Amino acid sequence: MMFKAATIKDIAKALSISTSTVSRALSDSYEISPKTKKKVLDYARQINYQHNPIAASLRSRKSYTIGIMVADVANSFFSQTINGIESVAYEKGYNVIITQSHDSYDREVINIEHLANRSVDGLLISMSAQTIDYAHISKLHDQGLPIVFFDRIIDQIDTYKVTTDNFKAAFEATELLINKGYQKIAHLGNAPQLSITAERVNGYKAALAKHHINFDADIVKYCHEGGRNITEVEEAIFYVMSDAIKPDALFIASDLISTTSLRALNKIPGVQQIPIIGFSNSDVIDLLSPRISYVRQRAFEMGQVATGMLIQLIESKYPVYEFDTTLLEAEIHWIT
């Protein structure tokens, strides 16, 4: 005998109610009484009714799918953010498709076009380190596709955004080093065109200025490939740790660059004790050598907030014209 999945019509017939009532009860509509909802849900479980997303998408012209673009799912920060995204998306009845740019502009363009062609209902995007042209995203946004940016955001597109309060986090991390007695603090940043890079550099500069320490551009190095190129990070570390620079401490403003820098530092004799603060959401950061104090971002919450914003856009019955940017505070952990 061929298997036949239970349908809304089967439930309606068995309970002698309309299919529209069953549908509303299953979607937890306020229009249906708690008693009727319970009756419908109990019977649906009894007959092993399963929601049919294909049928639902045909009725509503929605795919109930969200596209996600991140730099690298292996990055602890992004994996935690994705967990936050999924926790909200699945609760609201949406599936997710996760893609990686590997910090490549070309890969970002290809993947975003692919997601759009898969008829996703909206996109959650964290920009690649290489991207300076946003036409591929602007085109979709102008066509009405809901888009929300998280972490690495851009000003050029007017929509909801959520990121860390990077200025404050960098200011407090730098000031903590200054208060510990360190004056010459070298800085390693991500690709300079990223929003997070500029915000963190500005926070670093502001802390120096507050304590009357002159900003020295010679002890600031940018890793244009976001820490993905080990040689680039090693060259930056070897430069700032050279005899010509000799910093008192090191502030690293990127998760991947932080961990890659530690490997590079292990290749330089006598510098393992230099005080370091770096952005990192790694669960094993306490075990790494040299020891590193760290700025931990609220990645899971960022994913939740961004997804809530996107679903709000997707499900809005009217155009949305007013948007805001949500800033989440980070936590600084000093390791002695």
Residues of the chain with CATH 1.10.260.40: 8-51
Which helix (H) or strand (E) segment holds residue 140: the answer is helix 135-142
In angstroms and rounded to an integer, the radius of gyration of the C-alpha atoms of the chain is: 25
98 vs 286 pLDDT, higher one: 98
Going by C-alpha positions, the residue among 20, 22, 19, 54 that lies closest to residue 39 is: 22
Average pLDDT over residues 315-330: 92
CA separation for the pair 192, 126 (Å, rounded): 15
pLDDT tens readout for residues 19-75: 888 888 887 777 888 889 899 888 888 887 776 554 554 444 678 999 999 999 989
Residue 286 pLDDT: 78
175, HSE (Cβ side, Cα atoms, 13 Å): 14
Mean pLDDT of the chain: 90
Residue 47 pLDDT: 83
DSSP state letters, 28-49: T-TTS-HHHHHHHHHHHHHTT-
What does the CA dihedral 42, 44, 50, 53 come to, rounded to 10 degrees? Answer: -100
Residue 177 pLDDT: 97
pLDDT confidence tier of residue 98, bands split at 50, 70 and 90: very high
33 vs 287 pLDDT, higher one: 33
Q: From 3.30.930.10, 3.40.640.10, 3.40.50.2300, 3.40.190.10, which CATH number describes the 63-163+299-328 domain? A: 3.40.50.2300
Residues of the chain with CATH 3.40.50.2300: 63-163+299-328, 166-296
CA separation for the pair 241, 247 (Å, rounded): 7
pLDDT confidence tier of residue 128, bands split at 50, 70 and 90: very high
Residue 227 pLDDT: 84
Class of domain 8-51: mainly alpha
pLDDT tens readout for residues 130-160: 999 999 999 999 999 999 999 999 999 999 9
Residue 58 pLDDT: 41
Class of domain 166-296: alpha beta
Instruction: Identify whether 34 is preceded by a cis peptide bond (ω within 30 of 0).
Output: no
Residue 314 pLDDT: 94
Residue 293 pLDDT: 92
pLDDT at residue 274 is higher than 70: yes
Neighbour tally for 28: CB within 10 Å: 9
CA separation for the pair 289, 298 (Å, rounded): 24
pLDDT at residue 3 is higher than 50: no
pLDDT tens readout for residues 239-272: 998 888 889 999 999 888 998 888 888 888 766 6
Strand partners, 220: 187
CA separation for the pair 240, 215 (Å, rounded): 15
Tokens of 98: 């996760």
Residue 2 pLDDT: 40
Residue 51 pLDDT: 63
pLDDT tens readout for residues 190-241: 999 999 999 999 999 999 999 999 999 999 999 998 888 899 999 999 999 8
